[in-house]
Amino acid sequence: MPHRPCSLLAVLCLVLLPLAGVAASLPLIPRPARVDLHEGRFVLARVTPLRSAGDDAAARAAAQFLRDALEAVDGPRVQLGPGRAGPAIEFVSDPAAPAAAEAYTLDIDAQRVRIAAREPAGLVHGAATLFQLLTRSAQVTDLPALHIEDAPRFAWRGLMLDSVRHMQSPDEIRALIDQMALAKLNVLHWHLSDDQGWRVEIKRHPELTRIGAWRTPPGAGRDGEPSRYGGWYTQEQIRALVAHAAARGITIVPEIDMPGHAQAAVAAYPELGVTGTRPAVSVDWGVNPWLFNVDEATFGFIEGVLDELMALFPSRYIHVGGDEAIKDQWQAAPAVQARMRELGLTSENALQGWFIGRLGRYLDAHGRKLIGWDEILEGDNLPAGATVMSWRGSDGAIKAALTGHDVVMAPAPTLYFDHVQSALDDEYSGRLGVEALRGIYAFEPVPGVLGAAQVRHVLGVQANVWTEHLPSHAHVEHAVFPRLAALAEVAWSSAAARDWADFATRLPAQLARYRRAGVHVADGAFAVAIDTDRNLALATGRATVRLSNQSGVGTLRYTLDGSEPRADSLPYLAPLVLSLPAHVRANAFAADGVALAAPRERRLDRQSLLSLPGSALPNCPGSDFRLRVQPTPDATSTQPVYAVNVFDTCQQLPPTRLDGVTAIRVEAARLERKYALAHEQRLVVSRAHATPFGELEIHADRCDGTLLASLPLPDPAHSPRRFPLTSALPALSGERSLCFIYTAPIDGPLYGIGRVDLVPGP
Ligand code: ACM
């Protein structure tokens, strides 16, 4: 069927076709390489037939994918099968389709919708585009006539999921895979072993899961804490997930982390380690010291694990970790040192290089390729075919590409989705700082310094979802969405096609799709922040209120009468000057009037202006490291969250007008101190304390300023995790800062501040 050119608005079409405007009118993410809009439309039936040739298994799989995706959002109804003659959606494996890897075409006219591709993955991508057209608004009854020709910029479009620190159920992983496929991502890098657990069933080494899959958290069995945490994926579950992913054009690349991050394996089989002792499976996040041994027996064991892994995962790439292997144990072990001498190696880094090189040769001999974190470059013994995953900025990628290795760009912090999405008080747990949607969108995977010969080594781009602070699937989804949409466009669309303003116009439809699919999408990029100069308001009784949202997407609207903001509420045009008390509620709305976030609110009166969440209290000078953590018993909820610096539990109240304040109340929380800081442990600040469990000290102005209060902390064994600490304050006037220091011993719990309330006198 020839494509009929736009006739009615021919001139306009010609002008607009190559420009952002046409594609922008279709809310497709990632943006296709080429969209030609034609005149006319395809009208959906009550149940539109989906057709594929009887012997075309790839076409049928793509059609099923489309049907399932539509069903999950209660979208237009479609039915697989031969159907009657007449208008239908057709999937065709077509050797005449464009030759680029994963390419597809989508043609729509009044009679039919046709998706064609040479490869099965192309058909899936075509189905994903059609899904987006069929869900471009709440009720879709037709499709615009068009021709789309599309192919990805990068071959590796990945997401890494850490199922060790916290596990996800197979169904939860399936849901993630489905969303990846709809975003045209094609690699799920699955982090399956680490210090805190071993998550893949290995039949010849059952202790790996019987022992290595379980950890006993501090306080196990008490205070709502399970007696142990863990589990593993059976080989049957893994095969089913691999097949589910494959039917959606996604390869699962498994990772077994070596030679470091080996504590769970050594807990299962102490002979795999070098000390001869059996550690517990770790409960500490961070860098633990346990390394694999380098003797022949250990390699025999690892090769057996790789054999089972290769049988489970058809992926060409096998990820062997390589990151953060501090070498203390190898340095201290005479047998390891002797082995180094025997091999003629002069450093432990060289030994790691030899270790990784050996794994690479084993994988190579079995027709697979090694990929590892960028530390695998350190030993200068990387096998020629090895691929480097660059996580410590882009230096690793540059070095790798210059030495002829392929690279995948996954740099921290930008593409570390365990970093929080917003600075809002109600943000979930995660690492700080904020890695905003817009920053992800702006990420350019190809380092500018690479020349043409090296650029071809950049296979693609990946975001990593580490789960230390993401205990539930709701946390994982909150971290992943909507940033996945930005990643998808970075990974798929050409650099020239990337345009934030245009992306922003396509985003509301994508948010609606996530919500219809039941995805727990974060709204921190759109939610309205309600800010005021507290001290000015306290001094004058009038607040100048500024509304903003992080992404700049949507129209901000507000109410002052306590009612929920709606699409016809007052638009925010300029700062609001309000007499106290006031109650501001606000939200951001898309052009079609749909709310982009949950409404946020702020009450403005003397009491609330003197009340600050702990997250609004910056660290004391000296260390800017900070996490947002949730006490473990709240893992099925997402709040409360405490912003803490695990190196130094010291925070400062920003200067606040304290006239008339006579007392202070601090909501304190006892958190687990479960951080393996390796060589950075010496940076943890230890302070003298006068009572058995330490105190909360409150100092005036600076941390070495006058001590205003020293409030003993209660006995952890006989007090709830959250407790108030109150004290009278001497009269202070003007804008003053306060410094809060926990002096608790550093081998005990960590303390956080939930909220500080300054209490005015009568
Ligand atoms: C890593 O974040 N340790 C790869």
Angle between helices 296-312 and 235-246 (to 10 degrees): 50
Q: Given this model, what pLDDT does residue 218 score?
A: 79
Residue 492 backbone dihedrals phi, psi, to 5 degrees: -100, -45
For ligand 1, atom 3, which residue shows the shortest CA distance? 323
Closest CA to 740 of 646, 651, 621, 680: 651
pLDDT < 50: residue spans in the chain: 1-24
Q: Which residues pair with 188 in a beta bridge?
A: 159, 252
Residue matched to tokens 């304050």: 729
Ligand 1 closest atom vs CA 321: 4
Q: Given this model, what pLDDT does residue 178 score?
A: 98
Angle between helices 483-492 and 500-516 (to 10 degrees): 130
Distance of alpha carbon 740 from alpha carbon 668, whole angstroms? 11
Of the residues 166, 261, 469, 475, only one is catalytic, namely 261
Q: 640, 634 in Cβ contact below 8 A?
A: yes
Residue span(s) of the chain under CATH 3.30.379.10 come to 25-150
Ligand 1 and 285: CB distance under 6 A:
no
- How many angstroms does the Cα of residue 92 sit away from the middle of ligand 1? 41
In angstroms, what CA-CA distances link 603 with 3, 183, 265, 595, 658? 58, 39, 52, 21, 19
Helical (H) or strand (E) element with 23: helix 20-25
Q: How many helices (H) and strands (E) does the chain have?
A: 20, 39
Task: Name the pTM for this structure.
Answer: 0.95
Distance of alpha carbon 486 from alpha carbon 645, whole angstroms? 30
Ligand 1 closest atom vs CA 464: 2
3-class SS at 259? coil
What the block records as the tokens of 603 is 């009450």
Ligand 1 and 373: CB distance under 6 A:
yes
The 10 Å Cβ neighbour count of residue 745 is 14
Please say whether the dihedral angle defined by the alpha carbons of residues 382, 385, 386 and 387, taken in this order, is positive or negative: positive
CA atoms within 13 A on the CB side of 167: 18
**Could you tell me which residues come within 8 angstroms of residue 10 by beta carbon, excluding any fewer than 6 positions away?**
none
747 is catalytic: no
- How many angstroms does the Cα of residue 327 sit away from the middle of ligand 1? 16
What the block records as the tokens of 351 is 């030994």
- How many angstroms does the Cα of residue 302 sit away from the middle of ligand 1? 21
Ligand 1 and 391: CB distance under 6 A:
yes
Q: 711, 693 in Cβ contact below 8 A?
A: no
The CATH architecture annotation of domain 25-150 reads: 2-Layer Sandwich (3.30)
Report the top-level CATH class of 156-516: alpha beta
Distance of alpha carbon 455 from alpha carbon 445, whole angstroms? 10
Distance of alpha carbon 409 from alpha carbon 388, whole angstroms? 9
- Cα separation of the two ends of the chain: 82
Helical (H) or strand (E) element with 664: strand 661-671
- How many angstroms does the Cα of residue 340 sit away from the middle of ligand 1? 26
- How many angstroms does the Cα of residue 709 sit away from the middle of ligand 1? 41
Closest CA to 91 of 118, 114, 107, 69: 114
CA atoms within 13 A on the CB side of 697: 22
In angstroms, what CA-CA distances link 581 with 542, 570, 585, 756, 761? 9, 19, 14, 20, 18
634 is catalytic: no
Closest CA to 19 of 37, 43, 1: 37
Residue matched to tokens 């607009």: 16
Ligand 1 closest atom vs CA 416: 2
Q: 687, 739 in Cβ contact below 8 A?
A: no
Ligand 1 and 323: CB distance under 6 A:
yes
Closest CA to 381 of 329, 345, 415: 345
Best residue among 190, 285, 373, 462 to mutate for probing ligand 1, ranked by most atoms within 8 Å of CB? 373
Ligand 1 closest atom vs CA 389: 4
Distance of alpha carbon 314 from alpha carbon 317, whole angstroms? 9
Residue matched to tokens 């380690």: 273
Of the residues 107, 194, 284, 348, only one is catalytic, namely 194
What the block records as the tokens of 178 is 């489905």
CA 313 to chain CA centroid, Å, is 23
What the block records as the tokens of 25 is 């009118």
Residue span(s) of the chain under CATH 3.20.20.80 come to 156-516
Ligand 1 closest atom vs CA 391: 4
The 3-state secondary structure of 437-487 reads HHHHHHCCCCCCCCCHHHHCCEEEEEEEECCCCCCCHHHHHHHHCCHHHHH
Distance of alpha carbon 368 from alpha carbon 317, whole angstroms? 6
Ligand 1 closest atom vs CA 410: 4
Residue matched to tokens 């039917």: 247
261 is catalytic: yes
**CA-CA-CA-CA dihedral for 398, 402, 407, 412, to nearest 10:** -10
- The order of strands in the sheet holding 430-431 is 430-431, 627-629, 642-644
CATH of 611-760, one of 3.40.50.620, 2.60.120.260, 3.40.640.10, 3.40.50.300: 2.60.120.260
The CATH code belonging to domain 529-606 is 2.60.40
Q: Given this model, what pLDDT does residue 381 score?
A: 79
Q: 615, 628 in Cβ contact below 8 A?
A: yes
The 3-state secondary structure of 303-320 reads HHHHHHHHHHCCCCEEEE
Best residue among 160, 162, 324 to mutate for probing ligand 1, ranked by most atoms within 8 Å of CB? 324
- How many angstroms does the Cα of residue 285 sit away from the middle of ligand 1? 12
- How many angstroms does the Cα of residue 239 sit away from the middle of ligand 1? 26
3-class SS at 7? coil
Distance of alpha carbon 651 from alpha carbon 624, whole angstroms? 11
For ligand 1, atom 1, which residue shows the shortest CA distance? 323
The DSSP string of 550-577 is SS--SEEEEESSSPPP-TTSEEP-S-EE
- How many angstroms does the Cα of residue 385 sit away from the middle of ligand 1? 22
Q: Given this model, what pLDDT does residue 83 score?
A: 61
Please say whether the dihedral angle defined by the alpha carbons of residues 139, 122, 442 and 16, taken in this order, is positive or negative: negative
Q: 294, 315 in Cβ contact below 8 A?
A: no
Of the residues 68, 90, 149, 324, only one is catalytic, namely 324
- How many angstroms does the Cα of residue 331 sit away from the middle of ligand 1? 22
Residue matched to tokens 């070498």: 327
Ligand 1 and 417: CB distance under 6 A:
no
Residue span(s) of the chain under CATH 2.60.120.260 come to 611-760
Strands 529-532 vs 187-191: parallel, antiparallel or unpaired: unpaired
Ligand 1 and 172: CB distance under 6 A:
no
Closest CA to 526 of 428, 416, 438: 438
Ligand 1 closest atom vs CA 373: 4
Q: Given this model, what pLDDT does residue 286 score?
A: 95
Task: Identify the burial level of 639 via C-beta atoms within 10 angstroms of its C-beta, where 0-12 means exposed, 13-18 middle and 19 or more buried.
Answer: exposed
Ligand 1 closest atom vs CA 466: 2
Q: Where are the alpha helices (DSSP H) in 313-347?
A: 328-332, 334-342
- How many angstroms does the Cα of residue 141 sit away from the middle of ligand 1? 46
What the block records as the tokens of 280 is 């517990």
Ligand 1 and 441: CB distance under 6 A:
no
Ligand 1 closest atom vs CA 412: 2
Distance of alpha carbon 202 from alpha carbon 325, whole angstroms? 23
**Could you tell me which residues come within 8 angstroms of residue 213 by beta carbon, excluding any fewer than 6 positions away?**
197, 198, 199, 230, 231, 232, 264, 281
- How many angstroms does the Cα of residue 391 sit away from the middle of ligand 1? 7
Residue 153 backbone dihedrals phi, psi, to 5 degrees: -70, -45
Q: Peptide bond before 5: cis, by omega within 30 degrees of 0?
A: no
Closest CA to 143 of 179, 114, 181: 114
For ligand 1, atom 2, which residue shows the shortest CA distance? 391
Ligand 1 and 326: CB distance under 6 A:
no
Residue span(s) of the chain under CATH 2.60.40 come to 529-606
